[in-house]
Amino acid sequence: MTTHATAAPVIDENALMSFVFRAVDEVGAALNCALVVMGDRLGYYRALADGPRTATELAETTGTGERYAAEWLAAQAAGDFVRYDPASGRFTLPPEHVVALTDSSSPAYLPGFFQIAFGTISDASQIFDRARDGDGLGWGDHNHDVHEGCERFFRPGYAANLVSTWLPALTDVVPKLERGARVHDIGCGHGSSTILMAQAFPESRFVGSDAHPGSIGVAQDRAAESGVSDRVEFAAAKATEVSGTGFDLVTIFDALHDMGDPVGCARRVHDMLADDGTWMIVEPAAGDRIEDNFNPVGRAYYGFSTLLCTPSSLSQDVGLAIGTQAGPARIRDIVTAAGFTQFRIAAQTPFNNVLEVRK
């Protein structure tokens, strides 16, 4: 028998070195994830927001070690997060970066995004072990940075869009909320979305539920601090086991893809809603084909999907694991399987798809 050896591929040395230097940049970006969390936590960005600083001045302002401040500033300048003036030895945070790195009321606010990534990476070794056997890791089993970073990342976007844009994009929902509606926010986490709605619509009554008891405790504290405890209650419950019927609005924010049994959740929502009720599903921005998501947002979300969201689903009953980038068509399949007949994309942002579902 004659065998034919496969010819070795011809290596383009320029292409090889181009990839090597791109990989070096990737390592720098990975390390910068921790450096951004460091800058946020130690107050470096907030100090730079008040004006240019030398390393000595930054250390004095923040009460930190000068050598750390110096190396951190150099790393930030190399990554173009800050600008360096060799003549004065001072580092400047551009005004646009001030907004993105210090203004928690802006939808462009980024420290929470870096914090949840930092927390996710910190737990990654646990995911490596489970990936061999296809096992999962529950949301509640992750570290504090995952839980806090998640809220810090999503809350500014909800604050900017939920009341002003997303709810008005739904059919006849805002008038109901203004008159007084019953709302259940499933997978509410720390309660940001629930509280924002309760603040905007004082005549309505709200329930927030989440499978993670620790998050529910935080949500209850936040509701008391916000002065809405009279119209909001929180309860720890799995999405397939939440109680109550006759709700005018059910919401799920960036959580359906994390669930082990999203079809079971959809069936529960179908039973919970009034006949003319609405289910608003907010999911990460995604297209229906894998190649639709080959962009910076899709890349970040696929990373979270691999290390955080898919393991969360696999840790639960059924473990459907649709992934963070499931896309509207996949969500439509899930809600249709549960008996819903109306589905549409009501609104979109660079980070989210807002879906309206009705019976």
Torsion sign over Cα 98, 99, 101, 102: positive
* Rounded Cα distance, 260 and 137, in Å: 11
Give the pLDDT score at 31. 96
Q: Tell me: the pLDDT tens digits for 118-133?
A: 999 999 999 999 999 9
- Of residues 344, 350, 353, 318, the one with CA closest to residue 113: 350
- Of residues 265, 306, 303, 313, the one with CA closest to residue 138: 313
Angstrom distances, CA of residue 304 to CA of 35, 119, 126, 129: 19, 11, 14, 17
Instruction: Flag whether the pTM goes above 0.75.
Output: yes
* Rounded Cα distance, 78 and 64, in Å: 21
DSSP tally for the chain: helices H, then strands E: 15, 9
* Rounded Cα distance, 222 and 233, in Å: 11
Token pair belonging to 89: 């030895």
Question: Which numeric CATH code is attached to 155-358?
Answer: 3.40.50.150
* Rounded Cα distance, 244 and 226, in Å: 25
Q: Where are the domains of the chain?
A: 14-101, 155-358
Angstrom distances, CA of residue 131 to CA of 124, 135, 136, 208, 308: 10, 6, 8, 32, 12
Give the pLDDT score at 6. 75
pLDDT < 50: residue spans in the chain: 1
- Of residues 222, 207, 102, 92, the one with CA closest to residue 151: 222
Strand ranges, E, within the chain: 83-85, 90-92, 182-186, 205-210, 232-236, 247-253, 273-284, 342-348, 352-358
The DSSP call for residue 175 is H
Give the pLDDT score at 8. 84
CB-neighbour burial class of residue 191 (10 A; exposed 0-12, middle 13-18, buried 19+): buried
Q: What is the mean pLDDT of the chain?
A: 95
Please provide the size of the chain in residues. 359
How many Cα atoms within 13 Å fall on the side-chain side of residue 113? 16
Write the single-letter amino acid at 4: H
* Rounded Cα distance, 69 and 52, in Å: 13
Cβ atoms 109, 192 nearer than 8 A: no
Give the pLDDT score at 2. 54
Looking at the domain covering 14-101, what would its CATH class be?
mainly alpha
Give the pLDDT score at 204. 98
Give the pLDDT score at 5. 63
